[in-house]
Amino acid sequence: MSDERRIGHLDMDAFFAAVEQLDEPAYRGHPVIVGGLGPRGVVATASYEARVFGIHSAMPTAVARQRCPDGIYVRPRFARYKELSDRMRRVLHGVSSVVETISLDEAFFDLTHHGTDHRALEELAKRIKDEVQYETGLTCSVGIAANRFLAKLGSELGKPNGLLVIDPESVQALLDPLPIGALWGVGRVTERRLVSLGLLRVGDLRLAPSELISREFGLSGRRLQALASGIDDTPLAREAESRSISRETTFTFDVVDPEEIAEHIRHLASQVAGQLKSEALLCRTVRVKVRYPDFRTITRQMRLGVGTNSVHLIAALAEHLLRDRVRLDEAGVRLIGVGVGTLFQTEAQQLSLFDEALPFSGA
C-alpha cells in the first residue's frame, strides 16, 4: 500500500428517505421507509427516525410495518434520486478526474493530486460536503484515507453528516478495537467462523498466525488479514469503466417455482431497460444474479455483439441465463437480480416492434 495515495469516499445519508423528506416537508422528523410496499416488498432505505425502531435496508417491509406501524411507507422514485445523484457526482468531478460510482448514493474519488496534508484534506472534504448540500439540499458523509477500504470506513464511522480523514499513522489505533464484522467481506457466516477461533476484533485477526488464517480461509483469509492491517491496493476504476445498472428483488420467502422466478426476471429487466432509455444508453452485457437460501451468491452474464436497450431482448437474455446457466433446486432462491454493463451513450432511439411494457403481477 502506498501512503502517498489519498482516496475519498462519499456516502449520502439515508439517501432515498432523505430525498422524500426533502420533497415533502410533512415527512421531516418522522420515520420514512422507502421500498416495495407489497407482501414481498423489501426496505431499500430507512430514515434515521425509522432506524430507531430497528428498521434497516433489505428488511422485509412486512417486518418493518410490525416494528413501526405508524411509519410513512413510500415507493422509490428512481428518476428523482438519479437527478440528485447526478448533482452529487458533478461536485466530485470538480475536484477529481477519477470518480468511481458505486450506486446512486455512493462514490469513490481520487484525491492523490491534492497532496497528503491532513488539514488541507479536511478543508477539501468540508468544501465537498458544503457543495453537495448546496446542490442537493441533502447531507453526506465523507471519508479520506490512503485506500478504498479505509476511505469507506471513514465515511461510515462519521455518519450521519460526518467527516473523517484517516492518517496512515493512526490506522491501527482506529482499526484494532473495531468488531471483526467491520471488515469488508466479513458476512454473518465468516464472522461466526472468525469468532469461533477467538478473533472478535480486527486487531485479533491482524495478530493471528497467518498459517492459521490461510488454512481456515484460503486466499480470502489472506485478503481479510491484509485489510485488518489497513492494506488495500485496489485501484479506482474510472466512471465510464465501472458504470452499470442493476435491479434486485429479495424475497420474503424463498421462491421455488421457476415461472415465478422468471416473472420477476422480466419485471427487473423492464426496470433496467427503462433506466437505459431514460439516460439514452445502450448496453453490451446482460447478467443475472442469484442468491440461494444459504446465502451463496452467483452471477452469470453474456456479452452482445451490438448494444441494446430493448426490454424484450434484455429479458430474453436474462431468462436464457437463468434457464441454462443457473442451477435451481428444491431449496429455491432468496434473491434475484438483473444487471447490464458495458454501457455507452447513443443519440439514436432504438425502436421496438413490440409494446415495451411487460406484464407483471408481483409486489
Note if 106 is an active site residue. yes
Tell me which of 49, 100, 106, 263 is the catalytic residue.
106
Residue with cell 422466478: 261
Output the 3-class SS for the chain. Answer: CCCCCCEEEEEECCHHHHHHHHHCHHHCCCCEEEECCCCCCEEEEECHHHHCCCCCCCCEHHHHHHHCCCCEEECCCHHHHHHHHHHHHHHHHCCCCCEEEEECCEEEEECHHHCCCHHHHHHHHHHHHHHHHHHHCCCEEEEEECCHHHHHHHHHHCCCCCEEECCHHHHHHHHCCCEHHHCCCCCHHHHHHHHHCCCCEHHHHHHCCHHHHHHHHHHHHHHHHHHHCCCCCCCCCCHHHHCCEEEEEEEEEEECCHHHHHHHHHHHHHHHHHHHHHCCEEEEEEEEEEECCCCCEEEEEEEEEEEECCHHHHHHHHHHHHHHHCCCCCCCEEEEEEEEEEEEECCCCCCCCCCCCCCCCCC
Residues 6+ apart with CB under 8 A from 164: 142, 143, 144, 154, 155, 157, 158
Q: What Å distances lie between residue 257 and 276, 288, 289, 292, CA to CA?
A: 29, 17, 17, 14
C-alpha–C-alpha distance, residues 123 and 144, integer Å: 11
Q: How long is the chain?
A: 363
Residues with a known catalytic role? 106
